[in-house]
């Protein structure tokens, strides 16, 4: 029973914060809403007995991505001006109705499908030990190749981000050199 109570508590918290993310006119408040959503999802992972994922969610998402976004918002979007253009009302209503329709289709199909019971109950599923073995095992059930590819992707993204963000300074130097 307490699990269900916590589930509904976290679900309400996350959905309210998500609504805040997509409707707040101030971008900084939107980012704080995103922070609340990510904390709530980390709580959901705890309810699902995935402690390691919960920790990764907090460290990488909240400590990395949200902080990066707050930096970008403070750098780029003039937070003090507080006027961000919204889409026209008719478009918001249309897209809201379409999203609701899509949700009803998704929920209806998922609730009408009978999922079977779990194949076999395993103690401590999703534990750090299991995840570590799966990530680094080159055997058939392992994820060693995706793991290495992800590290390449992260390197490429890092170099690409620095290059793109600095491109303007490079162009200015070149212009000055020509002039």
Which CB sits closer to another protein, 141 or 177? 141
Span 4-63, contacts to another protein by CB under 8 A: 4, 7, 11, 14-15, 18-19, 21-23, 27, 30-31, 34, 37-38, 41, 44-45, 47-50, 52-53, 56-57, 60-61
Site string for another protein, 123-162 (x = CB under 8 A): --xx---xx-xxx-----x-x--x---x--xx-xxx-xxx
| Rg of the chain in Å (alpha carbons) | 22
Identified binder of another protein from the candidate list 80, 118, 176, 177, rule CB under 8 A? 118
Give the pair of three-digit tokens for residue 10.
Answer: 């976290």
Which CB sits closer to another protein, 168 or 178? 168
Identified binder of another protein from the candidate list 9, 82, 122, 148, rule CB under 8 A? 122
Identified binder of another protein from the candidate list 9, 82, 148, 167, rule CB under 8 A? 167
Minimum distance, C-beta of residue 152 to another protein, in the bound complex (Å): 10
Cα angle 151-156-161, degrees, rounded to a multiple of 5 = 125
Span 62-91, contacts to another protein by CB under 8 A: 64-65, 68-69, 71-73, 75-77, 84-87, 91
């Amino acid at each position: 029973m307490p699990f269900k109570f916590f589930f509904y508590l976290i679900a309400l918290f996350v959905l309210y914060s998500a609504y805040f993310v997509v409707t707040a006119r101030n971008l900084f408040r939107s980012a704080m809403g995103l922070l609340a959503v990510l904390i709530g999802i980390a709580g959901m992972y705890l309810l699902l007995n995935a402690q390691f994922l919960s920790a990764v969610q907090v460290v990488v998402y909240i400590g990395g991505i949200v902080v990066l976004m707050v930096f970008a918002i403070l750098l780029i979007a003039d937070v003090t001006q507080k006027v961000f253009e919204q889409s026209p009302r008719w478009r918001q209503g249309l897209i809201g109705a379409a999203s609701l329709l899509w949700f009803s289709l998704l929920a209806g199909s998922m609730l009408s499908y009978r999922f079977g019971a779990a194949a076999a109950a395993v103690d401590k599923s999703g534990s750090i030990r299991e995840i570590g073995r799966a990530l680094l095992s080159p055997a058939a059930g392992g994820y060693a190749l995706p793991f290495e590819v992800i590290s390449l992707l992260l390197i490429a993204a890092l170099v690409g981000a620095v290059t793109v963000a600095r491109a303007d300074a490079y162009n200015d130097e070149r212009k000055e050199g020509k002039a």
